[in-house]
Structure 1
């Protein structure tokens, strides 16, 4: 009967790989004096057995690593880059090195988590802004190190995030307060993440706000697209093709909202006189384009996650779940509907 991962030790790895304990140790710790073919064989066996070097043994052998692994789905998008910037600034100030793992797409993500137990030469793992499936959680926990999350709510680890439903209600309540009753939603999903893990908060806010206002749900006023400006533009064209177009649009993000505005302007419609538009996030372009939005403090979430991690590594008390507040920022893209 195979042993459970918690009972696997280095002797098991060495025996299965056909090498001595000393060779297995050098291979697993990436030390010199091991042939590359032997190193690959030992690492393959360790992965197969889900063997993880004991953190206590690592500390006895050479102290803490001084490294933190950061897992992020996108590094070119403003939100993720800003979140990472805040986190890295705090960790750098504490003289911790950041190892960045970019899991861009379903295949990359699957490969990363499959190989995860071999990535054990870190003191902690920070998961940035994507929900972690149950099997992925199990792979993370095999590492035996501290795990925290930032920028997303769907994680069983200490985490820092906003409440997406609250942010969505702030946007919707603003449009309802202005007097809009025919409100469309452009819902955005990330095509690079599993669909069953998509955070529902911003969509839930739309339906709850309409129900609370006594407004019937019209599915023709909901367009779901992949995340991005061009996709927002296409969704707006779809909404304008309805026999009775909306008077206001609630977009899941500012990038999507700005794409919608492009379509509206090309159609000869004025904003906000003919159509109000609101987004979420307060992207740097939102202020430049006078877009009404709901601001979330992105860099601050990264910084807070960094401080939370340092407290845990030092054995100090820290909050497990931190929800940072969002704020409605009224600019020139929203106004009462025309009579």
Structure 2
């Protein structure tokens, strides 16, 4: 006989309501209690089934989406693009926000998506071999946004190429001491843009015969405040840079604020370029690398829906284009003002 929710509650020493709230990830459950419930469920091989009627037919009409964060611009765009396409295709979106390292470990250990989704999409996470094998045990179609994995549907952009174009643009303007403001490549969440965009930055410097200087390479953590702090630190270096590549527009906004607060001019003293073409980039006259995040998500969702509909889809990675957008933060002749 399959274990019941009552069995889980008995083993964990909590009420049935607490088991239900813990397994659904609802608030107002102590972390220690939630962990005890998840451990009991795993030991009993218990899987909650909130869609019993659908499961009877073997389908849930739901696609699971795994993201490392939900409070960043990129992932808001991803979720918007996915939700529109999935809804149009008659599927619900079930979100799994990992949030931090314990959350990531819990997801890949407990696998809460089991029996709840018809397919699973992972956004901008570099998976370990063990994590990939865990996903394959779901026995459902898998898709990756922003990461190429053999045998898995993949859609994204070439972050390395985009970063190279950004830095090459600065070099073409005669800039030689080019700082980097990026994300943490050692972040245990293994969020992909910091890895790939840093590679592109280094490749562009090397191709131009410019020596990399770690003194002007600072972490901005993909936030405006982080970008400002990183730029403030870089400005203390001697000699100071004459340009900066920020791996996201939000970090570039912070960098420009720090430069101007130091009494310097953008771009005359220090040119600034970002990456994304965030909604505010044009307003702030920021040169950037444009990517259509929502379109990437929509394309991948359509490919996944094709597979769920019985069509054959090649697992070859589909890369969407990026575009250099030159504004006044690098070229004063291209200013919007």
Q: Same fold (TM over 0.5)?
A: yes
- Which of 1 and 2 has greater Rg? 1
**Equivalents in 2 of 1:163, 1:194: separation in Å?**
20
| Aligned length in residues | 301
Structure 1 segments of 4+ aligned residues over 3 angstroms from their partners? 38-41, 43-53, 58-61, 190-199
Q: CA deviation at 1:213?
A: 1.1
Aligned to 2:7: 37
Q: Give unmatched runs, 5+ long, in structure 2.
A: 12-37, 333-337
**Equivalents in 2 of 1:103, 1:60: separation in Å?**
25
The answer to whether residue 39 in structure 2 is matched with residue 69 in structure 1 is no
Q: CA deviation at 1:182?
A: 1.3
Q: CA deviation at 1:194?
A: 3.7
**Aligned CA distance change for structure 1 residues 38 and 241 (closer, same or farther; 3 Å):** closer
Q: CA deviation at 1:119?
A: 2.7
Equivalent of residue 224 in structure 2, options 201, 224, 229: 229
Q: Report if aligned partners of 2:125, 2:191 keep a CA contact under 8 Å in 1.
A: no
Equivalent of residue 121 in structure 2, options 113, 126, 140: 126
Which stretch shifts more, 125-134 or 87-96? 125-134
The answer to whether residue 246 in structure 2 is matched with residue 251 in structure 1 is yes
**Equivalents in 2 of 1:99, 1:83: separation in Å?**
13
Q: Report if aligned partners of 1:189, 1:198 keep a CA contact under 8 Å in 2.
A: no
**Equivalents in 1 of 2:162, 2:63: separation in Å?**
31
**Equivalents in 2 of 1:88, 1:149: separation in Å?**
16
Q: Give unmatched runs, 5+ long, in structure 1.
A: 1-19, 28-33
Aligned to 2:267: 272
Equivalent of residue 314 in structure 1, options 309, 316, 322: 309
Secondary structure of 1:130's aligned partner: coil
Aligned to 1:209: 204
Q: CA deviation at 1:193?
A: 3.7
**Equivalents in 1 of 2:190, 2:92: separation in Å?**
33
**Equivalents in 1 of 2:10, 2:153: separation in Å?**
34
Q: Report if aligned partners of 1:52, 1:118 keep a CA contact under 8 Å in 2.
A: no
Aligned to 1:10: none
Q: CA deviation at 1:147?
A: 0.9
Alignment of 1:1-339 (within 5 A): 20=1, 24=2, 36-37=6-7, 47-48=42-43, 61-116=56-111, 119-150=114-145, 152-156=146-150, 157-189=152-184, 193-194=188-189, 200-320=195-315, 321-335=317-331
**Equivalents in 2 of 1:285, 1:191: separation in Å?**
29
Q: Report if aligned partners of 1:230, 1:256 keep a CA contact under 8 Å in 2.
A: yes
Secondary structure of 2:281's aligned partner: helix
Which stretch shifts more, 299-308 or 75-84? 75-84
